[in-house]
Structure 1
Amino acid sequence: MAPVPPASTRRNQRRFAHHTETTPIEEKVLNGKKLLDEFGAKYTRKQLFDYFGISERAGYRILKDYPKGQNEPYNETRGRKRLMTKEQVDQIEEFLKQDRRAQSWSSLLEAAGLEFPDQRQVPVKETIRTAMHDRGWHKCGTCYRFWLNYDSASQREFFAREWFRQLGPNPESYRHLRYSHEVHFKWGSDGKLNITRTHEDRYCGDCLQNRKQATTSTFNNPICLNAWACIGYNFKSDLIFYTVNNSSGYITLEAYRDQILEPHVKKWIARGDYFVLSEDGAAGHGGQSDDNIVKQWKAAVGPNYFFGCPGAPDLAPIEDCFKVPNKKKHPIFTEHSLKAAAIEGWNAVSQSTINEWCDSVPVKLSEMANAKEQGTEQGTEQGKEPSTEN
C-alpha cells in the first residue's frame, strides 16, 4: 500500500487515517482546476467554486487541505505576509554560527547586517525569537566553555583537515598568516549574559548558570570601547579603537573599510609586507554577502585574505592575546582610564609569545582534524579561573 501523504487539517488527518477517498464534489473541483490549468485558461477561483455550486470557504478548504503531489502546487495567497523572509533568517543563523551569540533578540538584526529602509517593517523581538525558535535556536545562560554538536564538530574537522593538507605540519608554512579580530572592553554594571544556542549544543558541568554570579558595580552608565587588532609571526599591530553607531559594538562594513582597512591594512600593503589576512565571516568583514563595499575595497587594493572556520575561534592565536588585557585589574573611572588599561594589557603581550602561539597552529589543526567532538574555551586560560572583577 502506498504511504499516506500528510494532511494539514484534522478532517483530512481523520480521512487519511482511514484511507478513504475524496468526496465526489472534491474530485470535481480538483479535476476541473487541473484541467483549466493544463489548458492555460484564465479564471478566478470564485468562478470555479460557483460553477460547481460550492461556497468560497468550502472551495478554499478543498484546495488547501487536499494533499498535492510535487507537480500540483497550491500557493496560498491569503493572509499577512511573513515579517521575516527565509533569506533574512538564514543571514541571522549564519551570523550566530560565527560564535557571536551574546546578543539580545532585538539586536540580532543590526548585528547580522540586516537593513530595513521602512522602520515600520522592522520585526519586533517576539517575531525574531519565534523565527529563531523555529530553527532550533534558544537562549541560555553563558558558559565559560561551550560544546559543539556533531555537525559543527564535523565542519571544524573538515576545515582543519583541508587547511593542514594544504600547508602541512611545518610551522614556517603558517608564518605569513596574520590573524585579526575585534575585542570589546567594558566596565560598569552588567547583568548575567545570555547566549543563543541550538538544542543540540550541550550544557557543560561548569556552566555559568551553576556558578556564583560575579558581583557587579553599581555604576549605572557602563563604559564601552571597541577595538580591532592583528597579529602574526614577528608582527603585532597596535590596538586600533573604532566607533560604530550601534549598541552592540560589532563593526559595520563602513567602519571596517574606513577605520581599519584604509588607514592601516593599506599601509602594510604599500610598504611591501607579504601576508594573508585571516578574518571571521561576520557581516562587517564582508562575509555575509557576495558583493559589498568591503569586498570591493579588497578587490581594488589587493590584500590576500580568507575567512576562518565558524565555531573555531581557538584556531586564531589572537584570541589568546585578548585574554591578557581582559584579565587586567585596574580602577576604572573614565573612558580614558579604560583605554589606558586596555593598551597596557595589549602591550604586555610579548612578540616571542605571539610567535609561539602562531607556530602552535599546525599542532591545533592536527589535533582538530582527528577529533570527533571539540570543546572551545571562551575567556579562560588553561587551569585558571577568569577574573570576575571590573
Structure 2
Amino acid sequence: MATFSNTQTSRLSAVNSFDTMMGAYNYNYMRKFGDQSRQTSQPGASTRTASAGQKAQVQDAKVVKKTEHGSKKADRRGRPRKISDELLQKMIQMIESSNGDVSWEELGQAVGVEGVHMQTIRNHMVKEGYCKRISCPQKWLTLKARETRMQYALAHQHWQNEWRSVLFSDVVNFGLGASRKARVFSRRDERLCEDCLQAREDADKSIYHCWGMVGYDYKSPLIFYSVEGSSNGVMSQQDFITRILRPHVQPVATSKRMIYLEETNSAYDHSGNGPSMVQAFMESVNLPCLLNPDSSSDLNVFKDVILILKKRLQKRYIANEIELKRAVLEEWDKITTREINKLVDSMKTRMEKVLARKGMPI
C-alpha cells in the first residue's frame, strides 16, 4: 500500500481546493450571464430571418421585372418585314400566271419591291410554299399508261430471241451549246401536274433533225431531214412514208423478216380519227409492226443508243453547225453492233422489271 509524506499531502489538498473554487465560480457565472446571452441571441436570429425575407422579395421583384421586360422585348423581337403582305400576295398572283421565265429579282421588281436581295424574296416565297425547280423532262405515267405498260410486258414476258427480230427506231434532235434546263414555278404538291411538265429538248432550238434504226446485228444510216414550219421535227404522215418507211424500213424488214417497232408520239403527226395513212401503208406492204406503249422510251433500244451517242458528243469541242454534223456522223459510225446487241438482249429483263414495278419506269 502506497504511503505519502506530509509535503505531498499538503500539495494534493491545495489542488483540490483550487478545483472546488473554480467550479463554484463557473457555476455562478453561468447563472448570472447565461440567460442574458440567450435573450440577446433571439433578436439577432429574427433580424437575420427578416433580412432573408426581404432579399427573397427583392429577388422575386427582379424576376417579375425581368419577365415583363423579356415579354416586351419578345413582342418587338426581329427586324421589320421587308416585304409587306400586300406585295407578297401580288407576287403569288404573278407566279400563278407566269410560265417560269422570270427570275426572283424580276418578280420583286414587277410588284415594286426595292432594296431587297434575291435570297430574301426566295425565302418569303418558299415560306408560302412556292419554289423554282427544274421541270420534269418526261410525261408522268398516268394510271392508264401504267396499265398499258403492264399489258405490253405480260404479252412479251416470254420473248427472248424474238427481240432479235425487232427493229427499234425513232427521231432525235441535235443542237449547239449547253442544254438549258427549263425551270418552272410551282408548289410542292404541283410538281407532277400537267402544266409543270416540259420536254427538255424544247428548251433549246434544234439545228438538225435525224431518224435512225437499230436491231440485232444491224444499224441503219443516220438520216438527216428538215421540215418546213416545224420546230420539233415532226413530219406529216405522207412525208414519213415517202422519206422513211418506203426507202429505209420496208427493204430491211422484208429481206430480214424483221418487225418494225413504232413509237406513238414522235416521228410523225398522229392526229386524226380512224386508221392512219402510215398504218394503211404498212398493211399494204405486209410490214409487221409492234406498237411501243406511250411514254415508254425505256423500252426502246434506240433511245439507249442515242444516249451513248450524245455522251460521246459532250466530250468533243464543236464550234459550228458544220462541225456538229460531222461529229454526229463520226460518233454514229463508232457505235458497234456489239453494243447494240447487248442492249437488244436486255429486253427480256426489262419486261420483268416492268412487271415487278407494276408499270412504273425502270
CA distance in 1, matches of 2:213, 2:245: 12
Please state whether the residue corresponding to 2:261 is helix, strand or coil: strand
The one-letter amino acid of 1:252's match is: S
| Match of residue 172, structure 2, among 183, 186, 204 | 183
Judged with a 3 Å threshold, the aligned counterparts in structure 2 of structure 1 residues 154 and 202 are, in CA distance, closer, same or farther, namely farther
Aligned residues, how many?
Answer: 219
- Tell me if the contact between 1:156 and 1:309 (Cα under 8 Å) persists in the aligned partners: yes
Q: Distance in 1 between matches of 2:162 and 2:330?
A: 31
Deviations 1:136-182 (A, max 9, x none): xxx98434677534443333222211222xxx15x212211111111
Contact 1:147–1:374 under 8 Å retained in 2: no
Aligned to 2:289: 305
Among candidates 205, 225, 230, match of residue 208 of structure 2: 225
Name the structure 1 match of 2:317. 331
The reply on whether 1:244 has 2:227 as its aligned counterpart is yes
Aligned to 1:357: 343
Match of 1:161 among 151, 154, 160: 154
Alignment correspondent of 1:346: 332
CA contact (8 A) 1:256 1:285 kept: yes
Unaligned 5+ segments in structure 2 are 1-98, 100-131
Structure 1 position 262 matched with structure 2 position 246:
yes
Specify whether residues 200 and 240 from structure 1 end up closer, same or farther in structure 2 by C-alpha distance, changes over 3 A only. Answer: farther
Specify the alignment match of 2:257 in structure 1: 274
Change (3 A) 1:344 1:174: same
Query: d(CA) in 2 for partners of 1:353 and 1:189?
Result: 27
Q: What is the letter of the counterpart of residue 273 of structure 1? A: K
Counterpart of 1:247, as a letter, is S
| Cα distance in structure 2, aligned partners of 1:201 and 1:312 | 23
SS at match of 1:175: helix
Please state whether the residue corresponding to 2:245 is helix, strand or coil.
helix
Distance in 2 of aligned mates of 1:190 and 1:356: 29
Contact 1:149 1:373 in 2 (8 A): no
Larger Rg: 2
The equivalent of 2:237 in structure 1 is: 253
Q: Is the 8 A contact 1:140 1:194 kept in 2?
A: yes
Q: Which whole-Å CA distance do the structure 1 matches of 2:248 and 2:136 have between them?
A: 35
2:354 to 336, 360, 368: 368
How many angstroms apart in 2 are the aligned matches of 1:140 and 1:266?
A: 44
Residue 300 of structure 2 aligns with which residue?
316
Root-mean-square deviation (Å) = 3.6
Is residue 2:137 matched to residue 1:148? no
Paired AA for residue 279 in structure 2:
K
Structure with more relative contact order (C-alpha pairs < 8 Å, separation 6 or more): 1
Corresponding residue for residue 295 of structure 1: 279
Q: Secondary structure at the match of 2:175?
A: strand
Give yes or no for contact 1:153–1:372 (8 Å, CA) kept in 2. yes
Tell me which protein shows more helix as a share of its residues: 2
> Against the structure 1 CA distance between its residues 367 and 337, is the aligned structure 2 distance closer, same or farther, given a 3 Å change threshold?
same
Assess if the C-alpha contact under 8 Å between 1:324 and 1:345 holds in 2. no
Rounded Cα–Cα distance in structure 2 between residues aligned with 1:150 and 1:291: 25
Amino acid in the other structure paired with 2:288: N
Alpha-carbon spacing, 1:276–1:189, altered in 2? closer, same or farther (3 Å): same
* Displacement of 1:231: 0.8
Residues 223, 365 of structure 1: alpha-carbon distance in 2 compared, 3 angstrom cutoff: closer
* Counterpart-to-counterpart distance in 1, 2:219 and 2:310: 18
Residue 359 of structure 1: CA displacement? 0.8
TM-aligned CA deviation for residue 260 of structure 1:
0.9
5+ long unaligned stretches in structure 1: 1-103, 105-138, 210-215, 377-390
Q: Percent identity?
A: 24
Specify the SS of the correspondent of 1:244: coil
Residue 54 of structure 1 is matched in structure 2 by: none
TM-score by length of 2: 0.52
Q: Distance in 2 between matches of 1:229 and 1:200?
A: 39
Q: Does structure 2 retain, via aligned residues, the 8 Å contact 1:145–1:375? A: no
Residues of 1 paired with 2:206 and 2:303: CA distance?
22
Letter paired with 1:187: L
Question: Is contact 1:158–1:369 with CA below 8 Å preserved after alignment?
Answer: no
Where 1:229 maps in the other structure, the secondary structure is strand
Distance 1:249 1:333 in 2: 23
Partners of 2:345 and 2:189 lie apart in 1 by 33
